[in-house]
Amino acid sequence: MLMTVDAGNTNIALGIMDGDAIIGRYRLITKTTRTSDEFGFFLNHFLTSSGLTPEDIEDVIISSVVPKLMYALTSAIIKYIHKKPIIISPELKTGITVVSENRNSVGADRIVNTAWAYHTLHTSAIIVDFGTATTFDYVSAEGEFKYVVIAPGLGISAEALASLTAKLPEIEIRKPESVLGKNTVEGMQAGVVYGYIGAVEYIIREMKKELNDPDCRVIATGGLGKVVSNETDEIDDYDPDIAYKGMKIIYDLNKGDLK
């Protein structure tokens, strides 16, 4: 079995892959101050709750955009899972060509997403990842990853509205029944969610137009992706498990070289 670790700015998502099936999921808040023993506690709890032991794990692969937690996280995996983790980077085989002035600056999450799209969809695609930031990554049918749009995430937008104003409260991120808010909270929810849907739709349409690729597939992922994807025809599908699946694909491409 393969343990996949998706370390993002807000959450760390752990998955267990048995072949291509995801048989366990676990999520914890990202804190760069955690020690390796704290991470080890969570890892052991995850395995126990899934009915597994460290001996059931053949390998561990990490996609991380948080460099500060990597020493403690990798140390915990070595100490408690007894495996040296594989770290997603542009140097691994992915099947895609990263076209960038600085390939090492491309986030591991974006490599994982575009690798999944290329190997799974077999067509050009835009992957919209609704995380702390929202990224729009385009990969061509030939596997060339060249273009990206990065916007503030839906959560950041809501937090900024509350924290940078004197009287506006924190709100639950959900779409109200109408864009016409009947009170302050509904008005904020309407502005944040309807406004965000509009921004996402515009960016996707403009990307397709400038790429001259109107038929490319648009797939959403990320924790808040479902909030938006259900409300627009510009997104073809929502898959919350792209990170796990993409890491499994990259692992399969490289495991023969890593033994």
Q: Determine, yes or no, domain membership for 135.
A: yes
Q: How confident is the model at residue 155 (pLDDT cuts 50, 70, 90)?
A: confident
Look at residue 241 in the predicted model and tell me its pLDDT: 94
From the list 59, 109, 129, 137, the catalytic residue is 109
Write out pLDDT tens, residues 168-177: 888 888 888 8
> How many whole angstroms separate alpha carbon 210 and alpha carbon 19?
39
The verdict on whether 20 is a catalytic residue reads: no
Top pLDDT among 91 and 149 is at 149
Q: Determine, yes or no, domain membership for 180.
A: yes
Tell whether 193 and 225 lie within a shared domain. Answer: yes
Which residue type sits at 51?
A: G
Q: Determine, yes or no, domain membership for 250.
A: no
pTM recorded for the entire structure: 0.90
Q: Determine, yes or no, domain membership for 83.
A: yes
Q: Mean pLDDT in the chain?
A: 91
Tell whether 61 and 149 lie within a shared domain. Answer: no
Query: Which domain range does residue 60 map to?
Result: 2-87
Tell whether 113 and 236 lie within a shared domain. Answer: yes
Q: Determine, yes or no, domain membership for 256.
A: no
For the residues 195-211, what does the mean pLDDT come to?
95
Tell whether 37 and 150 lie within a shared domain. Answer: no
Q: Which of 17-26, 175-184, 214-223 has the lowest mean pLDDT?
A: 175-184
Look at residue 259 in the predicted model and tell me its pLDDT: 56
Domains identified in the chain, total number: 2
Tell whether 31 and 119 lie within a shared domain. Answer: no
Strand order in the sheet with 133-139: 97-98, 144-152, 133-139, 125-130, 217-221, 237-238
Tell whether 36 and 136 lie within a shared domain. Answer: no
Helices in 62-194 by DSSP H: which ranges?
Answer: 70-76, 108-121, 154-163, 184-189
Look at residue 89 in the predicted model and tell me its pLDDT: 87
Q: Determine, yes or no, domain membership for 104.
A: no
Tell whether 164 and 47 lie within a shared domain. Answer: no
- Residue 144: CATH number of its domain: 3.30.420.40
Q: How confident is the model at residue 143 (pLDDT cuts 50, 70, 90)?
A: very high
Q: Determine, yes or no, domain membership for 94.
A: no
Tell whether 116 and 234 lie within a shared domain. Answer: yes
> How many whole angstroms separate alpha carbon 210 and alpha carbon 250?
30
Tell whether 222 and 183 lie within a shared domain. Answer: yes
Helices in the chain by DSSP H: which ranges?
Answer: 36-49, 70-76, 108-121, 154-163, 184-189, 195-211, 225-229, 242-258
When mean pLDDT is compared over 8-12, 87-91, 201-205, the highest value belongs to 201-205
Tell whether 116 and 223 lie within a shared domain. Answer: yes
Write out pLDDT tens, residues 13-24: 999 999 999 999
Tell whether 48 and 125 lie within a shared domain. Answer: no
Q: Determine, yes or no, domain membership for 37.
A: yes
* CB count in 10 Å sphere of residue 201: 16
Tell whether 145 and 78 lie within a shared domain. Answer: no
Which residue type sits at 95?
A: G
